[in-house]
Amino acid sequence: MVRGVRVRYRRGLPGGSAMGQRVLPWAMAFLALLALRGAAAAAPNFVLVLADDLGFGDLGSYGHPSSATPHLDWMASRGLRFTDFYSSSSVCSPSRAALLTGRFQMRSGVYPGVFSPGSRGGLPLSEVTIAEVLKAAGYATAMVGKWHLGLGMNASFLPIHQGFDHFLGVPYSHDQGPCQNLTCFPPDIKCFGTCDQGIVPVPLLWNQSIVQQPVSFPDLMPLYNRFSRNFIADCARRGVPFLLYYASHHTHYPQFASQEYTGQSRRGPFGDALAEFDGSVGQLLQALQDNGLANTTLVFFTSDNGPSTLRMARGGSSGLLKCGKGTTYEGGMREPAVAYWPGRITAGVTHDLASTLDVLPTLTALAGAALPKVALDGYDLSPVLFGSGKSPRQTMFFYPPSPDPLHGPFAVRFGKYKAHYFTQGSLHSDTTPDEACHGLTPLTPHLPPLLFDLESDPAENYDLLQSGVGPELLQVLKEIQLHKVLFEQRMEFGESQIRKGRDPALQPCCLPNCTPKPSCCRCS
């Protein structure tokens, strides 16, 4: 049970006289009809919660025996829990671009890899985000947390230029700046590791102004939570529908937490960070309840990519899935996901195929807004959410962090089958016993492809073609190849934003004229 969130029942109106008893049913029916019409007419609110480097096996509701995630598990037990939900990429920047645009990251040029603090490029302003779609439909929009879609000259790529009215957060990953002398857990436990060196300390931004540098990790989540509660309350007072995009830094390395969660988890520092993330979800649910918005708000939770097993116990768990971050195996891109909307979404579990690419088309349809006039790679998941039909998504294409048109997708899922045409390890997935995951494992072509039945073998252990190709599997391979060819014909690679390079002068500094840089960039 979410702390403080309770279902409240109204007492029935007293009948009084016989006349009152005869009139009451008609009056109640009339009031119920008005309520239904009002609910249908009111635009729903959306809270989009994104975890960072959280694995498929990290939550209690997804099987982890020692994770303390009561609020997320509560959502999962009362909402729709997905078992076959995919990110578009196994690393941060491209997965976030696809989430916000409904388009594979290659189209917007968010490849190869991720943005750095001094990147010249960013998510192109010509791309239409879900915030821009909803803002045009009268929504208030806000983002808190990790952006990681570019900063650029004059902060031109930040969220306030991509459809968000407000932004409180960090422009990139919180390990992209020196952290060895920073406190990650109070009172004074230093961050584990050194993070990136030779660049400015990680800043905290309000819209496009630096309000703190380096950021104070133990104070960060309470600050985000307070802003989020205030934003929700303000929208409720004004009667304005809203989108809140809550992109947490948890559970990315280096883990951190506030005093309330430090030392509280059986999973150590990773568990403390995960517990704080879960607590933030609880505060969001409580804010909706307190403002009378619980039944008019869709809360959707997922993660950007799989766990960084390089960090071992500090890197998360992909459960029974193979490998993790940086790979096109299941552990790199299959994510936990929950859709929660009291009174609208029936509690249950769906095995239908779905993706972060589907978020924009789904929210657009629910809001009654207009889709962007561009090629989209997502589908409206309304039939799945409301139990009226199957998912329109039948395929998923798995691109590596550094995609190119020559190799195309490394893997394709069609129905329950997944074919790997290329495999490659990743440093992010080092230290696991499986050498196929390791960074030194080279790019390997497969002809015929490796073929797995993900319903009976989600761990991708048993290649169906090892014992030969029968007529049924031959037909499966033909269908997968056809989908692959048709998709590649439609895919257009945009100009790479990340290959535009870096400029140290673009690194954010609260004291632009200070010396020596980058270490002098410090303000509190």
Q: How many residues does the chain have?
A: 524
3-state SS of 444-508 is EEEEEEEEEECCCCCCCCCCHHHHCCCHHHHHHHHHHHHHHHHHHHHCCCCCCCHHHCECHHHCC
Tracing tokens 């059986």 back to the chain, one arrives at 266
Provide the residue type at 481 as one letter: Q
Residue 276 corresponds to which tokens in the numbers above? Answer: 């704080």
d(CA 401, CA 208): 28
* β partners of residue 141: 243
Nearest-CA neighbor of 392 among 421, 419, 365? Answer: 365
CA distance 42 to 297: 11
Contacts (Cβ under 8 Å, ≥6 apart) of 464: 451, 452, 453, 473
Which of 95, 20, 152 minimizes the C-alpha distance to 304? 95
Place of tokens 């797995």: 452
* Cβ 306 vs Cβ 56: under 8 Å: yes
For the chain, report the end-to-end CA distance as a whole number of angstroms. Answer: 38
Map tokens 């939770």 to a residue. Answer: 301
- Hey, which residues are catalytic here? 92, 148
Query: Which residues in 341-493 belong to E strands, given as ranges?
Result: 348-350, 354-355, 395-398, 411-414, 417-423, 444-453
Cα–Cα distance measured from residue 309 to residue 387, given in angstroms and rounded to the nearest whole number: 36
How many CA atoms does the CB half-sphere of 64 hold within 13 Å? 25
Crossing angle (nearest 10°) for helices 268-290 and 217-238: 20
Provide the 8-state DSSP code for 439: T
Q: How many CA atoms lie within 13 A of 155 on its CB side?
A: 18
- 3-class DSSP string for 312-377: HHHCCCCCCCCCCCCCCCHHHHEEEEEEECCCCCCCEEECCCEEHHHHHHHHHHHHCCCCCCCCCC
SS3 assignment, position 245: strand
Alpha carbon 24 to chain centroid, angstroms: 47
CA 332 to the chain's CA centroid: 13
* Angle (CA) 209 109 395, round 5°: 120
